[in-house]
Amino acid sequence: MSTLTVLCIFFTVFPAYANPSPYTVPTSTAIEEKTKEIEELKRELTSLEKEIEDLNGRKISLKNWVEVYNARVAEAGLEVVVANEALEKQEKIIAQRIRNIYKLGERRYLEVLLGSKTFLELLENIVFLPRIVEQDKKVLKKLQERKKEVEKKKRKLEEIRDIQSHLLVEYQKTLNELLNKRSRLNELLSWASDELRLLIEEEQRRYQESFKSAQKNSYLGEVNTAVAFVEPYSGQAFLTSERFPKRFRATGEVYTLVASWYGPGFHGRTTSSGEIFNQEDFTCAHPTFSFGTYLAVTYKDKSIIVKVNDRGPFIPGRSLDLSKKAAKTLGILSSGVATVKVEIVKPLP
């Protein structure tokens, strides 16, 4: 729950002896719902900000890897160039050697062989050219394998880089969607905050009017006792204020509460509802029941009807504070505290 809601409830539930300001605003259902909506939007924004931060971190890391693989692809490209150059160079050497042998001709080759001084030298001259050819074939094959190897390496690096680049694009797309969502949530939060402000202002205006009306209609004199009846409890009489309705309907909403009473020291002071507290009237304080709620209170063989117009009690273990006259009529004035049966009742027309 937000600080605003807590403050509203705090001021709402303070009892008459807190002497609240007429500018205190009770928390209405609309205000509570709007506050919950704002808190939910804030939680969603907080979660979204974390998601954006995490995705940004992954995007930066991936971008760095893309740059690393770009560099590796460039290095592999250079290796491919070097391998091609070495292969081309060797191919040129072999081609030149073949051309030289061709230019030499068969007659010149026979002259070389016949010019051998020994038989061993003759054999060496015979196997010399095939040996050169075989050696050239090995060198050429090795260079071709090297070329294929570095080209394969380059292609693999390019594949990895391309996958990462595609993922980077997807990251950016998702990030843009999250940023747009954040913008929409901020707009909703702004609208909800404005609506909450208007609700509070309207609640304050209504409360001030209600407060002034309650003070105007307050009565501090001795209040006569009257008899009221609650349907369907036929034959059972409830004592109450002559200023209250005399016919009620039971709601079935029954509680067992620990009741106490208050009066001296608070008589004539403002209650949380705005009414002036009259210890000689049939009123009570409750932590949460709406102001103006009528309660049928029973203790042993006595029953009364009181109206909620204040907040309290604030002593642990107690949940209902009766006015002095209500406590006296119910028979708990001397004991001070008693467990009572309470039912919410509705006035009949």
Q: Cα 283 from chain centroid?
A: 44
To the question of pTM greater than 0.75 for the whole model, the response is: no
Nearest to 34 by CA among 180, 181, 209, 203: 203
For residue 299, CA distances in Å to 179, 282, 296 come to 63, 15, 10
Quote the tokens at residue 339. 């467990």
Which CATH architecture describes the domain 29-196? Orthogonal Bundle (1.10)
The CATH class given to the 225-347 domain equals mainly beta
Q: What is the pLDDT of residues 99-150, one digit of tens each?
A: 666 565 555 555 555 565 555 555 555 555 566 667 777 888 888 898 899 8
Nearest to 11 by CA among 348, 274, 322, 252: 274
Query: pLDDT digit of tens for each residue in the chain (349 aa)?
Result: 443 443 343 333 333 333 333 333 445 678 888 889 999 999 999 999 999 999 999 999 999 999 998 999 899 889 889 988 988 888 888 777 666 665 655 555 555 555 655 555 555 555 555 666 677 778 888 888 988 998 898 899 999 999 999 999 999 999 999 999 999 999 999 999 999 898 888 877 876 776 676 666 666 678 899 999 999 998 899 999 999 999 999 999 999 999 999 998 899 888 888 888 999 999 999 998 988 899 999 999 999 999 999 999 989 999 999 999 999 999 999 999 999 999 999 999 8
For residue 37, CA distances in Å to 185, 252, 338 come to 12, 33, 41
Residues of the chain with CATH 2.40.40.10: 225-347
Residue 313: asked if its preceding bond is cis (omega within 30°), the reply is: yes
Residues of the chain with CATH 1.10.287: 29-196
